[in-house]
Chain A
Amino acid sequence: MAQTLKPGSGPLDYGNRTWLKILFAAIFFALYAPIFTLIAFSFNTDKRGVVWRGFTFDNYVKAWNNADLQEAMLNSLSIAFISTIIATILGSMVALVLWRFRFPMKAAYEGVMSLPIVIPEICMGVSLLLFFTNAGMMAWSVNFVWPFNLINIIIAHVAFCFPFVAIVVRSRLVGFNRQLEEASKDLGASEWQTFWNVIVPFMMPGLIAGALLAFTLSLDDFVITYFTSGPETVTFPVKVYSLVRRGVSPEINAASTALIVITVVATIIAMKLQAPDKSGKG
């Protein structure tokens, strides 16, 4: 007679073991309870936001009408938008170079390129601050008209965002069938036509995923922004930080919840687009 396995005892049945289920639940709780608390308290009627008193949307209205928060959010979105565009272009160019060409010191270049990913943010912040100060850009950019007064922060954000774009786009390109490129040329297309008609459409999911990743990274960056922003410019995370030092208000909860929603949605779309598919194999 065939041996019957107890449920959960098969080699791939980890998910059915009770103790593992409990562990999973504990981990998820530790990770997400603070976030859910924040979201829940954004609907709290209590002014000081410590005790639950009742449900309301008022905090969202107040946050929306807060001129300071508005300005900070506008700055953050502009910075994220501009630096995403630049980082996406730069990052995909880097990805193409690394994918397509062999050159001396390629491995070294690749390592240096991804340095901003692994380097501690605080070091990057300090070094960028030193750089901008020595270049005179800290004092100089303050006089620029909006959004050019954000130039320091934008440059800083591009610097730490583009490697992420490069990595995402490059991993997409690995699945590219080179015969598609050859077929395009064989059919009469020039290099340039081949690039725009065949390679870019293939890269597109990677481009969008990389751009969304860059956007979320830029939008919620605090450390590097804090170092590189002048006294006049405030971004949303920096503003929240300064407000929290005077006490947590439900308004901040509301604004933060909005930020969470934006980043989560962007991340989900990015992950969907990065999911491996068979479409590119030609």
Chain B
Amino acid sequence: MADAIVSLRNVTKTFPGGVKAVDNVSFDIAQNEFFALLGPSGCGKTTLLRMISGLETPTSGQIIIGGEDMALTPPNKRPTNMVFQSYAVFPHMTVAENVAYGLKVTGVPADETKRRVAEALEMVKLTHLAQRKPDQMSGGQRQRVALARALVKRPKVLLLDEPLSALDAKLRDEMRLELTRLQENVGITFIIVTHDQDEALSMASRIAVMDKGAVQQIATPSELYEQPTSRFIADFIGKVNLINAKVVSSSASKVVCDAKGLGRIELPHVGQAQGDIAIAVRPEKLKISEAQPKGASAIATEGKVRDVAYFGDTSHVVVRCKDDLELAVNVQNDKRAGGAGVERGQQVWIHWAPEDTLVLTE
């Protein structure tokens, strides 16, 4: 990538004891991206972030930041700053002193420090609390201090380790919006680590999904959701119905397969497919009807409603079909009366368009 600000080249981290936390990871992050590292806990995403910050050194590989290999550069010499999961706000300093710290230790003149601290506090709306001590502040306010403290350094890359995990639900939504807005305003590359797919999908411009120390897929949020490349990704991002199938024949643009509970179906698919595959379809793409749908193009099957869970805006329906195939269907409750329109034990038809189905060979 030409305008890459961070380039990882074959980065591997093996911890003493032989645990491979990060296994041969290579990718580029462009200038001004809001990049998310997403994965289940223990997938190596935090280790990767810490290696970018310099708090951890890779066992092998290159970490190129701003055109320079910094794999072995200590954290205090890197153009990156981190917002820690615990915020790590210095308890014995006031908010203003916390924000000024990074400038003070690197010898920035006092008047410039004062001006930049004021700017940073303004940016995170904490000017009125400048003289407070951290123990008199809420978690959300402490996080803003941590943000201001990092941004005041004007880093090339801002690293955020699970920034929203310690906040309550309402504050989390607010902060999510604020972080995206802040990123647009300051024009700094943000790299965020999270285990929460909603967080990654709603904030990031690109997401790297990690599992077992390796990157599984790097894509935009919508690509990741609609074009996952493997069962793991399809299952990890959002909810999905994964149905096992066996390929009967495949051509350049379509696949004919025998799917569990659905019989022989024809699906559009680019690329080769053979043997055992999985077909994936998101619950919101499925439709429920009482009568058999007309029109031959849809994939359809009959089943019995096992469970209806009401969520206000949607209802999550589970339908048991042939061959013990269970399908999850999300129904929009777009009428005030009737809810999902089905009830437990009812016999229904489920159908969807073949193009809403994904063929997963991995």
Hey, what's the 0/1 contact readout for B91-131 against A, CB within 8 Å counting as 1? 11000000001100110000000000000000000000000
In the bound complex, CA of A187 to CA of B151 (Å): 10
Q: Is the CB of A188 within 8 A of B134?
A: no
Interface residues of B in 68-102 (CB under 8 A from A): 74-76, 80-82, 84-92, 101-102
Asked if B330 is at the interface (CB within 8 A of a chain A CB), the reply is no
Point out the residues of chain B lying under 8 angstroms from A184, CB to CB.
Answer: 90, 101, 105
Asked if B282 is at the interface (CB within 8 A of a chain A CB), the reply is no
Q: Is the CB of A202 within 8 A of B81?
A: no
Point out the residues of chain B lying under 8 angstroms from A186, CB to CB.
Answer: 53-55, 75-76, 80-82, 150
Asked if A179 is at the interface (CB within 8 A of a chain B CB), the reply is yes
Across the interface, A197 reaches (CB within 8 A) one of B80, B101, B150, B153, namely: B101
Q: Is the CB of A282 within 8 A of B105?
A: no
Q: Is the CB of B105 within 8 A of A183?
A: no
Point out the residues of chain A lying under 8 angstroms from B80, CB to CB.
Answer: 186
Q: Give the number of residues in B that approach A within 8 Å (Cβ atoms).
A: 28
Asked if B343 is at the interface (CB within 8 A of a chain A CB), the reply is no
In the bound complex, CA of A187 to CA of B150 (Å): 7
Point out the residues of chain B lying under 8 angstroms from A280, CB to CB.
Answer: 91
Point out the residues of chain A lying under 8 angstroms from B82, CB to CB.
Answer: 182-183, 186
Knowing A187-B149, A187-B153, A197-B101 are in contact, say whether A279-B90 is a contact too (CB < 8 A): no
Hey, what's the 0/1 contact readout for B204-228 against A, CB within 8 Å counting as 1? 0000000000000000000000000
Point out the residues of chain B lying under 8 angstroms from A198, CB to CB.
Answer: 90
In the bound complex, CA of A184 to CA of B80 (Å): 13
Q: Is the CB of B92 within 8 A of A183?
A: no
Point out the residues of chain A lying under 8 angstroms from B334, CB to CB.
Answer: none
Asked if B135 is at the interface (CB within 8 A of a chain A CB), the reply is yes
In the bound complex, CA of A58 to CA of B305 (Å): 98
Knowing A197-B101, A198-B90 are in contact, say whether A183-B84 is a contact too (CB < 8 A): yes
Asked if A16 is at the interface (CB within 8 A of a chain B CB), the reply is no
Knowing A187-B153, A279-B135 are in contact, say whether A177-B88 is a contact too (CB < 8 A): yes
Asked if A278 is at the interface (CB within 8 A of a chain B CB), the reply is yes
Point out the residues of chain A lying under 8 angstroms from B150, CB to CB.
Answer: 186-187
CB distance from A185 to the nearest CB of B (A): 5
Knowing A182-B84, A184-B101, A185-B55 are in contact, say whether A282-B89 is a contact too (CB < 8 A): yes
Q: Is the CB of A282 within 8 A of B76?
A: no
Interface residues of A in 166-189 (CB under 8 A from B): 177, 179-180, 182-189
Point out the residues of chain B lying under 8 angstroms from A282, CB to CB.
Answer: 86-91, 134
Point out the residues of chain B lying under 8 angstroms from A246, CB to CB.
Answer: none
Point out the residues of chain A lying under 8 angstroms from B105, CB to CB.
Answer: 184, 187-190, 193, 197
Asked if A201 is at the interface (CB within 8 A of a chain B CB), the reply is yes
Chain B's closest residue to A193 (CB) is B105
Knowing A278-B135, A279-B92 are in contact, say whether A188-B84 is a contact too (CB < 8 A): no
CB distance from A42 to the nearest CB of B (A): 42
Point out the residues of chain B lying under 8 angstroms from A245, CB to CB.
Answer: none
Chain A's closest residue to B107 (CB) is A188
In the bound complex, CA of A176 to CA of B84 (Å): 15
Q: Is the CB of B92 within 8 A of A188?
A: no
Q: Is the CB of B55 within 8 A of A182?
A: yes
Point out the residues of chain B lying under 8 angstroms from A6, CB to CB.
Answer: none
Knowing A193-B105, A279-B135 are in contact, say whether A185-B76 is a contact too (CB < 8 A): yes
Hey, what's the 0/1 contact readout for B296-338 against A, CB within 8 Å counting as 1? 0000000000000000000000000000000000000000000
Point out the residues of chain A lying under 8 angstroms from B149, CB to CB.
Answer: 183, 187
In the bound complex, CA of A281 to CA of B85 (Å): 12
Q: Is the CB of B88 within 8 A of A182?
A: yes
Q: Is the CB of A182 within 8 A of B87?
A: no
CB distance from B49 to the nearest CB of A (A): 11
Hey, what's the 0/1 contact readout for A204-223 against B, CB within 8 Å counting as 1? 00000000000000000000
In the bound complex, CA of A148 to CA of B254 (Å): 96
In the bound complex, CA of A256 to CA of B116 (Å): 58
In the bound complex, CA of A179 to CA of B82 (Å): 11
In the bound complex, CA of A280 to CA of B106 (Å): 24
CB distance from A184 to the nearest CB of B (A): 7
In the bound complex, CA of A189 to CA of B88 (Å): 15
Across the interface, B76 reaches (CB within 8 A) one of A189, A202, A278, A281, namely: A189
Knowing A183-B82, A193-B105, A279-B135 are in contact, say whether A188-B153 is a contact too (CB < 8 A): yes
Chain A's closest residue to B53 (CB) is A186
Point out the residues of chain B lying under 8 angstroms from A187, CB to CB.
Answer: 76, 81, 101-102, 105, 149-150, 153
Point out the residues of chain A lying under 8 angstroms from B153, CB to CB.
Answer: 187-188
Across the interface, A179 reaches (CB within 8 A) one of B84, B106, B135, namely: B84
Point out the residues of chain A lying under 8 angstroms from B76, CB to CB.
Answer: 185-190
Point out the residues of chain B lying under 8 angstroms from A190, CB to CB.
Answer: 76, 105
Point out the residues of chain B lying under 8 angstroms from A180, CB to CB.
Answer: 88, 90-91
Partner-B contacts on A (CB < 8 A): 177, 179-180, 182-190, 193, 197-198, 201-202, 278-282
Partner-A contacts on B (CB < 8 A): 53-55, 74-76, 80-82, 84-92, 101-102, 105-106, 134-135, 146, 149-150, 153
Q: Which 7 A-B pairs have the closest CB atoms?
A: A187-B102, A179-B88, A183-B88, A189-B105, A188-B106, A201-B92, A279-B91
